[in-house]
Amino acid sequence: MKNSYLNIFAFNKKILGKTIKILNKDKVMGLPTETVYGLGGNAYSKKAIKKIFDLKKRPKFNPLIVHYYNLSKAKKDVIINEKFKKLYKRFCPGPITFILNKKDSSKIHALASAKLRTVAVRFPSHKILRSILKKLNYPLAMPSANKSSRISPVNSIDVYEEFKGKIIIIDGGNCKIGIESTVIDLTSSPKILRPGIINKNQIEKILKMKLNRTKLQKKIVSPGMLKKHYSPGIPVKINQKKYDGKSAYIYLGNKFKNKKNFFSLSKSSNLNEAASNLYKTFRIIKKRGYKRIQIQKIPLKRSGIAINDRIKRAST
């Protein structure tokens, strides 16, 4: 078994050098972030972007997030505004992605942003990724390191299981946040396109304004809003009150402690902790051979909104 994991590397100075060399050759790699693992490559390179789409089997109309070390690097590619500056100051580096207008002089390859005039930019806080981004002369286009429509990986073994020996993976431990970044569109009146750990209330406080309620739009503004997404590969039923006797049952709290088939996302019902355990729990359940998943009602507040968004999609 050990041999098959030889393409997962622990991070050190020597591996940093190797990583830079690999990325400079327009190759793509599995890299850790604080949210989920990503499949990263040079955002200015057609060759790298194509590889990302091919490996993920991602539809070409679904744009990628471009990851930067800091604001001064991002300014070369996108037009920033006052609202962005406020949110950047408060939350970055961290688990939030901004949709901004692309500069005419931007070097981001058109395929990365699916030929849109806008770009999704993010400033991840994971130490390993930051040390890599600091050394590069280009940003990294990086979707979650999973095949299209599946759940995101939250440790290096998860990435290995998605792509086997096809890519080199850098180990950065378990992702602390465990679900994807909040995506907010700042090209017109601010709109949350994908809820995350940084929630609407926190953003409203910083912007000193109310945001519209995040709802599933008909028009695809963010293809991540496609309904079928984040599927663990077995049927998922949400808002379940009664246990059916054979499914894996996901819940909050410790009411069913030590009971077979019951999986708590957080013993203390903490919603951030629950979010961080969601994908991990899906994977454990799948591996144990369960045929279906039932999920108790999760409160629709703070990080519970992001959890409900993901489990709703997992259930369609």
Residues that bind ligand TXA (CB under 6 A): 33, 35-36, 38, 62-65, 97, 99, 113, 116, 118-120, 122, 124, 142-144, 180-181, 183, 193-194, 221-224
Residue 223 binds which entry of Mg ion, ligand TXA, none, CB below 5-8 Å type-dependent: ligand TXA
Pick the closer one to Mg ion by CB: 59 or 235. 59
* Cα–Cα distance, 215 to 221 (Å, whole number): 11
| Region of 47-55, 105-113, 124-132, 137-145 interacting with Mg ion (CB under 5 A) | 137-145
Q: Under a CB-based contact definition with an 8 Å cutoff, are residues 178 and 275 in contact?
A: yes
Residue 194 partner contact from Mg ion, ligand TXA, none using kind-dependent CB cut-offs of 5 to 8 Å: ligand TXA
Q: Name which of ligand TXA, Mg ion, none residue 141 binds, using a CB cut-off of 5 to 8 Å depending on partner kind.
A: none
Amino acid letter for position 146: N
Strand partners, 117: none
# binding residues, Mg ion (CB under 5 A): 1
CB of residue 180 vs Mg ion: minimum separation in angstroms? 6
Residue 102 binds which entry of ligand TXA, Mg ion, none, CB below 5-8 Å type-dependent: none
Six-digit token string for 195 = 């809820």
The candidate with the shortest Cα–Cα distance to 31, out of 175, 180, 161, is 175
Using CB atoms, what's the residue nearest to Mg ion? 144
Nearer to ligand TXA by Cβ, of 96 and 265: the residue is 96
Instruction: Decide whether 142 or 198 has the Cβ nearer to Mg ion.
Output: 142
Alpha-carbon gap, residue 183 to 309, rounded angstroms: 13
CB of 114 to ligand TXA, least distance (A): 7
Which listed range, 7-15, 109-117, 140-148, 274-282, lies at the site for Mg ion (CB under 5 A)? 140-148
Which residues, listed in sequence order, are joined to residue 293 by a DSSP beta bridge?
236, 248
Interior/surface letters 25-36, b for 16+ CB within 10 angstroms, e for the rest: ebbbbbbbbbbb
Nearer residue to Mg ion within complex by CB, 148 or 270: 148
Q: Does 144 contact Mg ion by CB under 5 A?
A: yes
Q: Which residue is nearest to ligand TXA (CB)?
A: 224
Which lies closer to ligand TXA via its Cβ, residue 49 or residue 64? 64
Give the long-range contacts of residues 16-22, CB within 8 A, separation 24 or more.
Answer: 16/131, 16/132, 16/135, 19/132, 19/168, 19/170, 20/132, 20/135, 20/136, 22/168
If contact means CB under 5 to 8 A according to the sort of partner, which of Mg ion, ligand TXA, none does residue 151 touch?
none
By CB under 5 A, tell whether 294 contacts Mg ion: no
Smaller CB separation from ligand TXA, 90 or 237: 90
Whether the Cβ atoms of residue 178 and residue 280 lie closer than 8 Å to each other: yes
DSSP single-letter state for residue 69: S
The smaller minimum CB distance to Mg ion, of residues 222 and 264, is found at 222
Give the tokens for residue 261: 């088939």
List the structure tokens of 202.
Answer: 């926190």
Nearest-approach distance from CB 128 to ligand TXA, in angstroms: 13
Nearest to 201 by CA among 84, 301, 81: 301
31 φ, ψ to 5°?
-130, 145
Question: Smaller CB distance to Mg ion: residue 65 or 87?
Answer: 65
Rg (CA), the chain: 19
Binding residues vs Mg ion (CB under 5 A): 144
